[in-house]
């Protein structure tokens, strides 16, 4: 991956509208970041799927009832662009996560650097990297789920669409559900273009109601790919047991 350098993500963070991002996360539990990666970066990342040396494991989703399609978890060291995004996004998202925990009366607070947070995960036996590359063909889908890998859970995560809808594939929408206390669930579709990211709640998030704050349970997945091939990369901030 010669043309993705360590500084691949420098300059991205200042251009992000954090106010809108925080607003969308508070309102919907998800926020879209348009154009996080350019087409070349998307293609380079998707091309890594063929290189088994870069991964610690491969999951065939149908074998576990997770859906249909497959994914691979990167091994450490992560590809430079994945490592850069995971480190750079952690700090601003930790501020948001701390605010959410305060709102939900959860005592856990997240340290200001990802290195410190990983120390916490590793000390608890969560040492395996969780960033992953996903691969779907026609008819594949990803059932609604939560990416929990142990006691330590960083409550926000990011997915970047690496293929172009309408050209590389049809269908395959990124979907989220919100399970509200004593109410019916609400679904969201996040329309993504190639290179767009979505940041979203891993499991619980606070929702401001008429009579105080509720805890809302989120799940995410991908609707059926109607044609073509869809790649995405997932960046999860906690490590796995
Ligand atoms: O393929 C997608 O858009 C969803 C991937 C996913 O489940 C994840 O990144 O955790
Ligand atoms: Fe996921």
In terms of residue numbers, what domain contains 193?
30-235
Does the CB atom of residue 165 touch ligand 1 within 6 A?
Answer: no
Establish if 4 belongs to a structural domain. no
In this prediction, residue 127 carries a pLDDT of 98
In this prediction, residue 136 carries a pLDDT of 98
Mean pLDDT, each 10-residue run in order, the chain (241 residues)? 46 84 96 96 98 98 97 98 97 97 97 98 98 98 97 98 98 96 93 98 93 94 98 98 96
End-to-end CA distance of the chain: 28
Establish if 80 belongs to a structural domain. yes
Establish if 14 belongs to a structural domain. no
Does the CB atom of residue 234 touch ligand 1 within 6 A?
Answer: yes
Task: State which of 159, 163, 169 you would mutate to test the pocket of ligand 1, scoring each by most atoms of that ligand within 8 A of its C-beta.
Answer: 159
Atom number, ligand 1, closest to the C-alpha of residue 145: 7
Looking at all shown ligands, the one closest to residue 161's CA atom is 1
Does the CB atom of residue 147 touch ligand 1 within 6 A?
Answer: yes
What total number of domains does the chain contain? Answer: 1
Establish if 107 belongs to a structural domain. yes
In this prediction, residue 182 carries a pLDDT of 87
CA distance 41 to 20: 25
In this prediction, residue 9 carries a pLDDT of 61
Establish if 5 belongs to a structural domain. no
Establish if 8 belongs to a structural domain. no
In this prediction, residue 3 carries a pLDDT of 37
Establish if 57 belongs to a structural domain. yes
Of all protein residues, the one whose alpha carbon is nearest to atom 8 of ligand 1 is 234
In this prediction, residue 13 carries a pLDDT of 79
> How many angstroms separate the alpha carbon of residue 15 from the centre of ligand 1?
24
**Residue where the block lists tokens 């879209």:** 32
Report residue 197: phi and psi, to 5°: -110, 155
CATH of the domain at 198: 2.60.120.620
Establish if 210 belongs to a structural domain. yes
**Residue where the block lists tokens 């991205």:** 12
């Amino acid at each position: 991956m010669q043309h993705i350098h360590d500084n691949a993500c420098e300059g991205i963070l200042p251009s992000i509208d954090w106010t809108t991002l925080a607003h969308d996360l508070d309102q919907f539990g998800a926020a879209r970041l348009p154009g996080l990666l350019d087409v070349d970066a998307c293609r380079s990342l998707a091309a890594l799927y063929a290189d088994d040396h870069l991964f610690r494991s491969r999951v065939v989703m149908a074998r576990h009832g997770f859906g249909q399609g497959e994914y691979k978890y990167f091994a450490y060291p992560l590809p430079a662009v994945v490592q850069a995004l995971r480190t750079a996004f952690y700090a601003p998202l930790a501020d948001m996560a701390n605010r959410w925990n305060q709102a939900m009366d959860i005592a856990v607070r997240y340290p200001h650097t990802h290195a410190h947070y990983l120390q916490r995960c590793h000390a608890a036996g969560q040492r395996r990297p969780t960033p992953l590359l996903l691969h779907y063909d026609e008819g594949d889908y990803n059932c609604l789920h939560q990416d929990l890998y142990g006691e330590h859970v960083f409550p926000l995560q990011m997915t970047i669409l690496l293929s172009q809808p309408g050209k590389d594939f049809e269908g395959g929408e990124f979907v989220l559900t919100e399970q509200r206390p004593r109410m019916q669930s609400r679904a969201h579709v996040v329309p993504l273009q190639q290179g767009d990211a979505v940041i979203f709640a891993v499991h619980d998030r606070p929702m401001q109601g008429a009579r105080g704050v509720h805890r809302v349970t989120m799940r995410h997945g991908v609707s059926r790919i109607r044609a073509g091939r869809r790649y995405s990369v997932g960046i999860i901030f906690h490590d796995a047991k």
